[in-house]
Amino acid sequence: MATKPSMTHRERVLATLNHQEPDRVPIDFSSTRCTSIHVDGYQRLKRHLGIEAPDVISDRMMQCVLVDDRILERLDTDTRGIIPGAAEKTPDVELDEITYRDEWGVERSKPQGSYWYDLRGEPALAGEITIQDILRHPWPDPEDPGRLKGVRQRALELKQKGDWALVLNLSVGTVHISQYLRGFTDWYMDMAADQALIGALMDAITDVTVVMARRLILEVGDLVDIVFTGDDLGTQNGPQVSPETYRKVIKPRHGRFYRQVQEICPHAKILLHTCGSVYLLLDDLVDIGVQALNPIQVQARDMDPVRLKREYGDKLCFWGGIDTQRVLPLGTPQDVKAEVRRRIAEMGPGGGYVLTAVHNLQPDVPTGNVLAMYEHAREVGLY
């Protein structure tokens, strides 16, 4: 069977984002902070490939990395990530050798033997608070110049080296940050009993994140193809809140953020990372401008890839889908290859699918399985 003429990496990704079949299924690794690899697994991968490179952490909490371009070239991936610089006015505060406070006022600790930084201590806005307490909170400076440092230079260098689809990583969303600041128990109680208070907190967060996003997009939006952000809305069995509550409390804040992206950078596609079972919210996400969905957590309820493709394949591009709960950490390379073939068959027809793992590859994923996923995707992904 004849194949289409070879495309550049960028052409391949843009075709699939426009629901057209490219020459092969595009592959992503590390272009976002949720499609990368834990630093421990990354060090093993580097040793296996014989590549010496520093560990560039793209997300401190999750301990994932920006994978070295030499590895990405060897794996023939189609995307490259643009991550903001570190804040200079409100940098992380090191509280001790294993604990820090981030710019939002959230404390995290990484005990000996742990792979990640976990929440520590009393949340900054927990308990009995008022809207005035929210207003008095020491919010990050959204105009901190450190966030822009090196961003445009990185994009220009990538443009000069090759023709990849460039992905701009923006701040995480209002759900994440409000949960970290309020504490999960109070957050859920507010959703049920004090939506005015949690709405005020989300407004304060959105006031900051939209300015952060605007500055980054104005700095480098002309060079990028995809704008990425994340805000987990699902659990393993369904949304964190009812669709009705999402529409009333969260959706207006999400909509404000995404509308700005569309207004300033209309050529770029909006890629949203939201874990878990979010089937019941997909119409709402499409309504506010989401065009591509990650991670397609295939083991979660209602996230059957065949159903998603059938019902939303003309509205959403699916980005992810290679199971990280069972297949990648527990399976053999042959199991991983079978998963790759299955996912391409289910989600690849007609374009609209970018292949990568469901989430960051964790330390329990064998290096052989990482390589099997990416190498086999190239072998069997031809249209």
pLDDT at 4 over 90: no
Q: Which structural domain range is residue 243 located in?
A: 9-19+30-89+123-316
Question: What H or E segment, with its residue span, contains residue 107?
Answer: strand 107-109
**What is the model's pLDDT at position 223?**
98
pLDDT at 310 over 80: yes
Query: Two tokens at 164?
Result: 């990849």
CATH number of the CATH domain containing 285: 3.20.20
Is residue 330 assigned to a domain? no
Is residue 354 assigned to a domain? no
The C-alpha atoms of residue 120 and residue 100 are separated, in whole angstroms, by: 9
**Chain centroid offset of residue 309 CA:** 20
Comparing CA positions, the residue from 249, 238, 263, 247 lying closest to residue 205 is: 249
Sign of CA dihedral 220, 221, 224, 230: positive
**What is the model's pLDDT at position 303?**
98
pLDDT at 331 over 50: yes
Is residue 168 assigned to a domain? yes
At position 76, the amino acid (one-letter code) is D
**What is the model's pLDDT at position 196?**
98
pLDDT at 281 over 50: yes
Task: Classify 213 as helix, strand or coil.
Answer: helix
DSSP string, 71-99: HHHHHT-SEEEE-PPPPSSSPPEEEETTE
Q: What is the DSSP letter of 102?
A: -
Share of the chain above pLDDT 90, in %: 97
User: How confident is the prediction for the chain on average, in pLDDT?
Assistant: 97
Comparing CA positions, the residue from 27, 68, 75, 19 lying closest to residue 357 is: 27
pLDDT at 214 over 60: yes
Is residue 359 assigned to a domain? no
User: Total domain count for the chain?
Assistant: 1
CA distances from 310 to 25, 113, 350, 352 (A): 18, 43, 11, 12
**What is the model's pLDDT at position 67?**
98
Is residue 216 assigned to a domain? yes
Q: What is the DSSP letter of 362?
A: P
Strands (E), 234-274: 269-273
Q: Give the model's confidence band at 103: pLDDT under 50 very low, under 70 low, under 90 confident, else very high.
A: very high
Q: Give the model's confidence band at 37: pLDDT under 50 very low, under 70 low, under 90 confident, else very high.
A: very high
pLDDT at 94 over 70: yes
Which residue matches tokens 């296996």?
Answer: 48
Rounded mean pLDDT, 330-341: 98
Angle at 43 between CA 40 and CA 49, to 5 degrees: 145
The model's pTM: 0.96
Is residue 25 assigned to a domain? no
Q: Give the model's confidence band at 5: pLDDT under 50 very low, under 70 low, under 90 confident, else very high.
A: low
**What is the model's pLDDT at position 2?**
44
Helix axes 367-380, 333-347, angle to 10 degrees: 40
Q: What is the per-residue pLDDT across 117-132, written as a single tens digit (0 to 9) for each?
A: 999 999 999 999 999 9
Q: Give the model's confidence band at 1: pLDDT under 50 very low, under 70 low, under 90 confident, else very high.
A: very low
At position 361, the amino acid (one-letter code) is L
Which residue matches tokens 């790759």?
Answer: 340
pLDDT at 327 over 70: yes
Contacts of 222 (CB under 8 A, 6+ apart): none
Is residue 248 assigned to a domain? yes
Is residue 97 assigned to a domain? no
Query: Two tokens at 138?
Result: 């020491």
